[in-house]
Amino acid sequence: MTLRQRLALRLYRAVWYPALPFVRDYFRRRGRKDPAYLEHMEERFGQGAPFGATVWVHAVSLGELRSAVPLIRAFLDRGERVLITHLTPAGRRGSEAAFGPEIAAGDVAVRYLPLELAGAWRRFFGNYRPRLGLAMEIEIWPVMIDEARLAGVPLWLANSQIPERSFARARRWLPWIGHPVRGVAGVLAKSRIMAERFRALGAPNVHVVGELRFDQPIPARLTEAAARLLATPEGAVLRGRHVVALASVVEGEDEQYLAAYRLVQERFRAAGRVPPLFIHIPRAPERFGQVGDMLEASGQRVLRRSHAFDADLALADPRLAEADILLGDSLGEMYFYLALSDLAVVGGGYVEKGAHNVIEPLALRKPVLVGPHVWTIEYPGREAEAAGVLRICPTIPDLAQVMGDLLLDPAALAAISGRTESFFADHSGATARSMAILEPLLDTTP
């Protein structure tokens, strides 16, 4: 690093200490909605029960964990012990659910990621002593990267990307303070374009491996539960009624999607058809109650998954046939909702933060619609749109129009589902390509 870059890193490190009261206040505020934010606080300072890990995988939340699962499974298959870190309780709960038997056997441990404090990171590496670290997606923390280097832990960015907006900002600052990716051991990029951007920022050892989410296993328990529901007398009514899943709906979108529901309902009623059942799935669990109350207050007939189904996803409320909206107030059951659906709308696209993962609905061969803000899913969004398996709808009236057009045209839905077969064949295999690069590192790192 240049002198200017070293000074910038020192300033960044120093700012964290006077900012700690504000950081603690942030966790207290989040803890009012989700008390789990206040648990295991010692881990955010590098403390916690020691665990001898050979591989450390950081996945900020639930979405990043899902992309990491195939890679974590591959490491476990070769006998490695894996430490998984998260920033959010949703991610932690996801790991505990996905790797419960491995945690019980002592092969996997789950912790929170330390804050950007040198002492916290030194305690972290002293406690866990990994031989290899992987930060999933776009988790680029300067102190994490620098302390891993100082601890002698090769830290790779895996399944990684630099969205176009982030890249533009990084390029503006690059001549002045450089970019933290210069300090990583290597990058496993999702696409050729992403690899070029990492190289432009100075990252070493950049490889194109593809998107790990194309390799994630589809939970048979959830798809089989959907099939059982459709086979019951109570659930059979859904076979003759269209179902639309609104996946990962974020704050600021609920009212917009509600307006789309009304437009589609009016169109179906005018055509003498039964309107679709909309499955409304908020992304953040702390919003479940608030969103459910809002939907009920709107006059829609709402059932909540927590009341309508038991723990085994068997229907416990026969009013499903009469409902307008099923609120997906549960975690880790997205494939159940998608398996019931004819069509999926992926949330985030109607706010500036951008759309979320589109691969899960495509994995079940569902046509996907998103809003205009797709910079967050540049890959594989561009490729999916070009392949005709994803549609971008600039406005809510556009979304309602496209939903209605597709639902009223079964041949169009079937054609899109057919195209996803070849789309998946063209984009799978990222786990094997990643392991081919990472396994030799474990074999040679002392």
- Active-site positions read 64
Among left, alpha and beta (phi > 0; psi -120 to 50; other), residue 302 is beta
CB 228 within 8 A of CB 315: no
What kind and span of H or E run contains 280?
Answer: strand 277-282
Local structure of residue 309 (DSSP, 8 states)? B
Local structure of residue 315 (DSSP, 8 states)? B
Measured CA to CA in angstroms, residue 240 lies from 218, 407, 428 at distances of: 25, 12, 33
Written as one string, the DSSP assignment of 149-175 is HHHT--EEEEEE---HHHHHHHHHHHH
Across 254-290, b (16+ Cβ under 10 Å) vs e yields bebbbebbbbbbebbeeeeeebbbbbbbbbbbbbbee
- How many CB atoms lie under 10 A from the CB of residue 388? 13
Written as one string, the DSSP assignment of 383-434 is HHHHTTSEEE-SSHHHHHHHHHHHHT-HHHHHHHHHHHHHHHHHH--HHHHH
Angle 192-200/164-177 helices, nearest 10 degrees?
20
Structure token pair of residue 234: 């109570």
Contact partners, residue 24, CB within 8 Å, separation at least 6: none
Among left, alpha and beta (phi > 0; psi -120 to 50; other), residue 264 is alpha
CB 160 within 8 A of CB 187: yes
